[in-house]
Structure 1
Amino acid sequence: MGKVIEYKDVELHRQDLIALKHVNLSVDEGEFVYLMGKVGSGKSSLLKSIYADIPIASGEARVLDYDLNKIRNKQIPYLRREIGIVFQDFQLLTDRSAYANLRFVLEATGWHDKAEIEKRIEEVLKQVGMLNKSYKNPHELSGGEQQRIVIARALLNSPRIILADEPTCNLDPITGEAIVSRLHEIAGKGTAVIMATHNLSLVEQFPARILTCENRTIV
């Protein structure tokens, strides 16, 4: 199994302050990892560093085939194409249907063939069980349905890594369980998933490796 993330003694800064230090981390393809820790403990900093939104201050960091210490600005979009991101606040475009949200992402990432676009959107909607609601605008969908669309959006470019930042925090427990179950299924098909969460009961229900941010490092 190939490694998709490898950090050795990495230090990350936010506004000139140390966010995390001495981070040693290795994630394999198809692995599911929970990232836990209090608010402000550095979870978001770590996730943002993986898609090159925060630079590596020191140490060695590789994500997929990219050395994050040497990555050039023009390479960053290619790295991000291989990483799907699931936000807690959905970040869907509210003025268009779920289907149009997905089409927008594909067109923005260089897809041109109409039939190919339609086929791919159908595939990811099927994967998250939302094929029959794709014509609805986000405000017509429940929180859980919107989060499923967000997962579909993250899957569009067949990413090798999915980063999910507190994906269940705005959802009721049963919907949250369905979302985590779906993310575990995705990992089972070979995509590495890193999920930041506070929710211990979900972690107990769907066990996987746990990384904890505490004292400015990762345990």
Structure 2
Amino acid sequence: MEDQPLISYKNVDINQQELGILNNVNFELKKGEFVYLIGKVGTGKSTFLKTIYGELDICEGEATVLGYDMRTIKQKNIASLRRKLGIVFQDFQLLTDRTVYDNLDFVLRATGWKQFSERESRIEEVLRLVGMENKGYKMPNELSGGEQQRIVIARAILNKPEIILADEPTGNLDVETGRNIVKLLQEICTQGTAIIMTTHNLNLLSEFPGKVYCCGQHQLREASEY
């Protein structure tokens, strides 16, 4: 159904190594929504994201992500789930021994794109979308931090994901570059991709509005004052 949430958590408890991180989480994400997760270091923002892509198990409650029941999902289905998600890390995690083009081609080949011409066309398309169409031949270490993050976003959208999880995508960037990255994510969001972004930079919230959830004291709550 069109209005079904992409993510639905009801009364979910999240633990890591026996420690209770978040209790009684209620969270929904719908198509085309832009959601910020804010909160101090260690309050569970990244841990929450890990439950969405199957890195951490859900202990209690009901949790569905893109139709998968995260309480009962089998290991073999986690790969299928992750193909429908785009993940943007703070520290880029690009393969440093190959060009930008080959980084993107590696992902497409790993996710089942057999035809060279189709892969080439999609790589050109995503590089154009992130404003990096002339950088495919570069090695990651030849790019600035902001350029590397644009490539990471290009990598995240290769398979046209329904959701992008962006974990502190501006954390290693200067203020202006960080603003441009959030602007790019918001542009992608307007095409219908839902985005969850963790951030410490509260200035972004007023400039680039979205729904805000706050992590703290083992709770994840929607914050109305932003």
What is aligned with 1:188?
190
What is aligned with 2:104?
102
Q: Partners in 2 of 1:17 and 1:169 — Cα distance?
A: 26
Is 1:53 the equivalent of 2:76? no
Shift of 1:217: 1.1
Is 1:167 the equivalent of 2:169? yes
Q: Which AA in structure 2 matches 1:208?
A: G
Shift of 1:16: 0.4
Q: Which AA in structure 1 matches 2:200?
A: H
Structure 1, unmatched stretches of 5+, are none
Alignment partner of 1:113 out of 112, 115, 118:
115
What is aligned with 1:211?
213
What is aligned with 2:160?
158
Shift of 1:65: 1.2
Q: Partners in 2 of 1:2 and 1:171 — Cα distance?
A: 35
SS in 1 for 2:173: coil
When the two structures are superposed, what TM-score results if normalisation uses the length of structure 2?
0.96
Matches within 5 A, 1:59-74: 59-74=61-76
Alignment partner of 1:140 out of 127, 142, 154:
142
What is aligned with 1:4?
6
When the two structures are superposed, what TM-score results if normalisation uses the length of structure 1?
0.99
Q: Which AA in structure 2 matches 1:62?
A: T
What is aligned with 1:93?
95
Q: Which AA in structure 2 matches 1:83?
A: L
What fraction of aligned residue pairs are identical, expressed as a percent? Answer: 58
Q: Partners in 2 of 1:191 and 1:183 — Cα distance?
A: 9
Shift of 1:2: 3.1
SS in 2 for 1:3: coil
Is 1:42 the equivalent of 2:44? yes
What is the RMSD computed on CA atoms of the aligned residues?
0.6
Aligned residues: 219
Q: Partners in 1 of 2:172 and 2:72 — Cα distance?
A: 37
Q: What per-residue deviation string (whole Å, max 9, x for no partner) do you get for residues 53-100 of structure 1?
A: 000011000001101111111100000000000000000000111110
Q: Which AA in structure 1 matches 2:9?
A: Y
Shift of 1:111: 1.0
Structure 2, unmatched stretches of 5+, are 222-226
